[in-house]
Amino acid sequence: MAHVRFLNYCTTYYQKDSIYQYISFERNDASFTLLPKINCEKNSPFLVMLITSMHSQKEACMAIRQTWGKARTINGKYVAAFFLLGTSVSRDQNDQATLVEEHNTYHDIIQWDFTDVYCNLTLKTILGLDWIHHFCPQATFAMKTDTDMFVNPIYLVYLLLQKNISLNFFTGFLKPNEFPIRNVLSKWYVRRNEYPFEKYPPICSGTGYVFSVDVAQKIQSISTSVPFMKLEDVYMGLCLERLKIPLQDLHDKQTFFPERVPFSVYVPRNR
């Protein structure tokens, strides 16, 4: 299992003035603070949804459990969702006790001992891939998304079955022409010494992307040799570029929406 050598990686990283910093791992079972109750050998998921969360997002997690994130079988394919967390910034024991209680009730939390802040999102995502690699390599696909997203797993499973590609597959909202933001006031500001190039490799929006499990294993295996980026979607793009794995559309119509999509719950009566 991936053990984080820098528990507060953001602080460690920004104290150094070089783009050549790497996510450091050691193999150590103690790296996982909480593990979900699932036996992928006996019940291999077709799709595992990894949802990045934080201690303050309990209500959002509950809403997901009761709606699109509940474990179920869709077209004969098992789908399960898990929440990825680190340690709360405050290191409050009450926060951890509440999380443990939640985990003992729902058994769907994966937690590691690193400070859970925005610039550690890359670390959280890579550790999610590490969990798949060690505990659920029998899955066919995985999805990374966030607690403020809505996923339609019924349609997603249908499209994945229609696509019928289960190797070297990575899809989402494709962004082939993204450039580093140099505005210091932006949440996504990137210094030139972090990323000196003028353009990012092709990436998928971090709001949600889907990949075959072999890709998860390949990214996990090279993650220690790819320079760290706090922008998780860019970091994944850098890994895919290194692996020479191209991004692909899931459907000929847009199926991933990184922005809010307007909708109405009104259903007109038949006349």
What structural domains does the chain harbor?
A: 2-17+27-243 (3.90.550)
Give me the pLDDT at residue 32, please: 85
CA separation for the pair 123, 93 (Å, rounded): 23
Whether the predicted model's global pTM rises above the 0.75 cut: yes
Which residues have C-beta within 8 Å of that of residue 72, sequence separation ≥ 6? 78, 79, 153
Which residues have C-beta within 8 Å of that of residue 128, sequence separation ≥ 6? 50, 52, 84, 110, 144
Give me the pLDDT at residue 269, please: 65
Give me the pLDDT at residue 261, please: 80
**Residue 169 token pair:** 């597959």
CA separation for the pair 103, 26 (Å, rounded): 25
Long-range contacts at 243-247 (CB < 8 A, ≥ 24 apart):
243/215, 243/218, 243/219, 245/168, 245/170, 245/215, 245/218, 246/170, 246/202, 247/170, 247/171, 247/172, 247/174, 247/176, 247/202, 247/203, 247/204
Q: How do residues 18-60 score in pLDDT, each as one tens digit?
A: 333 445 444 344 478 999 989 999 999 999 999 999 999 999 9
**Residue 167 token pair:** 């190797």
Give me the pLDDT at residue 18, please: 38
- Single-letter amino acid, residue 227: P
Give me the pLDDT at residue 170, please: 98
CA separation for the pair 80, 184 (Å, rounded): 39
Which residues have C-beta within 8 Å of that of residue 260, sequence separation ≥ 6? none
- What is the Cα Rg of the chain in Å? 19
Determine which helix (DSSP H) or strand (DSSP E) holds 261, and give its type and residue range: none
Q: Would you give per-residue pLDDT tens digits along the chain (271 residues)?
A: 433 333 344 544 444 443 334 454 443 444 789 999 899 999 999 999 999 999 999 999 999 999 999 999 999 999 999 999 998 887 778 889 999 999 999 999 999 988 888 888 999 999 999 999 999 999 999 999 999 999 999 999 999 999 999 999 999 999 999 999 999 999 899 999 889 999 999 999 999 999 999 999 999 899 888 988 889 999 999 999 999 999 999 999 999 998 888 776 665 666 4
Give the CA angle between residues 220, 221, 227 to the nearest 5°: 75
End-to-end CA distance of the chain: 60
- Judge whether 203 and 187 are in contact, CB under 8 Å: no
Determine which helix (DSSP H) or strand (DSSP E) holds 220, and give its type and residue range: helix 213-222
Give me the pLDDT at residue 236, please: 97
Q: Output b/e per residue, 170-197; b: 16+ Cβ within 10 A.
A: bbbbbbeebebeeeeeeeeebeeebbee
